[in-house]
């Protein structure tokens, strides 16, 4: 079945540093891929998504490109801020139905 593997954290960065969080997937076909973010004490919210190969999703300075050759969807940001401190989840749909399978989450801490 579909699965997702995400780099483990925590990731600790200084403000304005470059961020990469790795995500690789195994899937039947080419499902949509998602990054969700969970700020402390809150529910998850969609950060960005890509619906087909070579698509680039972007939002709030974050980007991820759907790469079928490497089955990857790595999250990047050129200059992180303290307000980006959160847990980031890579996700894709189950092979049947619409529920999501989440990676284990990567905790990002950004200090000023």
Partner 1 sequence: DTAVSQTPKYLVTQMGNDKSIKCEQNLGHDTMYWYKQDSKKFLKIMFSYNNKELIINETVPNRFSPKSPDKAHLNLHINSLELGDSAVYFCASSQDAAGGPAEQYFGPGTRLTVT
Q: For binding to partner 1 (CB under 8 A), which residues are involved?
A: 31-32, 34, 36, 38, 42-46, 49, 51, 87, 89, 93-94, 97-102, 104-105, 107
Q: Of 9 and 76, which CB lies nearer to partner 1 in the complex structure? A: 9
Comparing CB distances to partner 1, the nearer of 38 and 58 is 38
For the bound state, the minimum distance from the C-beta of residue 16 to partner 1, rounded and expressed in Å, comes to 26
- Rounded distance, CA 15 to CA 6, Å? 23
End-to-end CA distance of the chain: 42
**What letter does residue 72 receive in the DSSP assignment?**
B
- Coil/strand/helix, residue 112: coil
> What is the DSSP-derived secondary structure letter of residue 9?
-
Residue closer to partner 1 by CB (options 52, 61) is: 52
């Amino acid at each position: 079945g579909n699965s997702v593997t995400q780099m483990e954290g925590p990731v600790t960065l200084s403000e304005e540093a470059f961020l990469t969080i790795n995500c690789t997937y195994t899937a039947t076909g080419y499902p949509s891929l998602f990054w969700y973010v969970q700020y402390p004490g809150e529910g998850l919210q969609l950060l960005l998504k890509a619906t087909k190969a070579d698509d680039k999703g972007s939002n709030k300075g974050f980007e991820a490109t759907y790469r079928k050759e490497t089955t990857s969807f790595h999250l990047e940001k050129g200059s992180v801020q303290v307000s980006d401190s959160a847990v980031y989840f890579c996700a894709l749909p189950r092979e049947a139905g619409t529920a999501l399978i989440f990676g284990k989450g990567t905790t990002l801490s950004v200090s000023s």
